[in-house]
Each structure stands twice: as C-alpha cells, then as structure tokens.
Structure 1
Amino acid sequence: MDASRGAGGFGPAHGAAVLEVGPLSGRPGIRARGEISELTRPPWEAALAGLAREHADVSYVELSEVGFVDVAGVAALAVTALGLPGGRMVVEHPPPQVPRVLGLFWPGLGRIEVAP
C-alpha cells in the first residue's frame, strides 16, 4: 500500500510522505516501510485493522524500515492492541519514538511487546 507517489508513480512526490505496508512472510503480521504520519495514517490504520481481523494469538508488526512514527500512529498501534480479543502484538525494530510514546501514554500495556 502506497500512501503517496510522485510523477509517474515512482518515488515520493516532493515533500510527500510514503508508506508501504505488506504481509510478513512465514508468520502473522505486517511489515511497514517509510513514514507513519498524518499523510500516511489512512493506509497505516487500514493495515492495522486487517491485522486485528486476522489476529490469532500473536501478531507481529515489523518496523525496521520505518524512519518516523508520529504520536497518532503510535496511538493507532496501541488502540489496535487494546482491541485484540486476546494474545499480544509484538512490535519489532521500531524507531526510537515508538517505545517512548508507548511508555509515556500507555505505561504497562501488556498487549504490546517491543522487541529491539
């Protein structure tokens, strides 16, 4: 899923954020690449909704190729985890602001595990 593309559909438009989200290979979850911000929030929230629909016991969110997540993007992650019917969400390799924002606004949220 691409949030924004430049001329011809290749690369970001000047000043525009890009987010690509797809399934993980070999385990339940999603992998994101790019930036999670106001411009890319709709595809981020859609990907999280799909993850929640398919959630069994553990779902993975791989963020090693995400450069930035704004507070609302972290909030969407936390709200999704809180809405899971059970189990947990493992957030792998997030940008540094993700654990800080989770710790500030959702301390002790046991449904999310942050794996460096």
Structure 2
Amino acid sequence: MPGRSGIRARGEISALTRPSWEQALSELARQHASVSYVELSDVAFVDVAGVTALAVTAMNLPDGRVVVENPPPQLPRVLEMFWPGLDRIEVAL
C-alpha cells in the first residue's frame, strides 16, 4: 500500500483463497514495522479460518499492532467471539 506498510484484499477470503491470504499475511509479518494495515473494503466475506490466520499473524508479531480497515461485518464479530481483548488488532470501520 502506498506510503504505509500493509496489504489490500478483495473478493472473498475462504478455503479457495486461503493460500493467497496466508501468503499475504506472511509477507505483512515480514515487513511489519510498529503498525501494519490490512485494507478490506473490497472483501465481501471472510471465513473463520481467514480471521484465525489474521489473529495468529497479529499475535506472532514481535511488537506493534495490525489495523484492519473497513472489514466485512463478520470479521469483528469473529474476533470478539474467539479472541476477546486481542489488543494486537485494531478494527477501523
């Protein structure tokens, strides 16, 4: 993403796209500074496994946080259900 560390996804994050999603998250973790961005305004759906990959990536960062911008509505609900209080991820609606 121009001017900041992060990735942008579009479409759906599901079993069919999970390998690409996990590869993008791995690249995000490699390039992570104190804040990394994940822009999801063009994502219509993300499954629980996709949210899990995001949460695990954030938890494994040495420091800082991941800001998730404009996620589909199920992403914050899944985060709250399975990882309440995970302060490594900030959801910006």
Alignment correspondent of 1:29: 6
- Structure number with higher relative contact order (C-alpha < 8 Å, ≥ 6 residues apart): 2
User: What fraction of aligned residue pairs are identical, expressed as a percent?
Assistant: 75
Distance (Å, rounded) in 1 between the aligned partners of 2:45 and 2:3? 26
Higher CA-based Rg? 1
One-letter amino acid of the structure 1 residue matched with residue 5 of structure 2? P
One-letter amino acid of the structure 2 residue matched with residue 59 of structure 1? S
Matches within 5 A, 1:60-79: 60-79=37-56
User: TM-score of the superposition, structure 2-length normalised?
Assistant: 0.99
Runs of 4+ in structure 1 over 6 Å off: none
Alignment correspondent of 2:86: 109
One-letter amino acid of the structure 1 residue matched with residue 77 of structure 2? R
Structure 2 unaligned spans of 5+: none
Task: Please provide the CA RMSD for this pair.
Answer: 0.4
Alignment correspondent of 2:34: 57
Deviation at 1:25? 1.4
Pairs aligned (count)? 93
Structure 1 unaligned spans of 5+: 1-23
One-letter amino acid of the structure 1 residue matched with residue 35 of structure 2? V
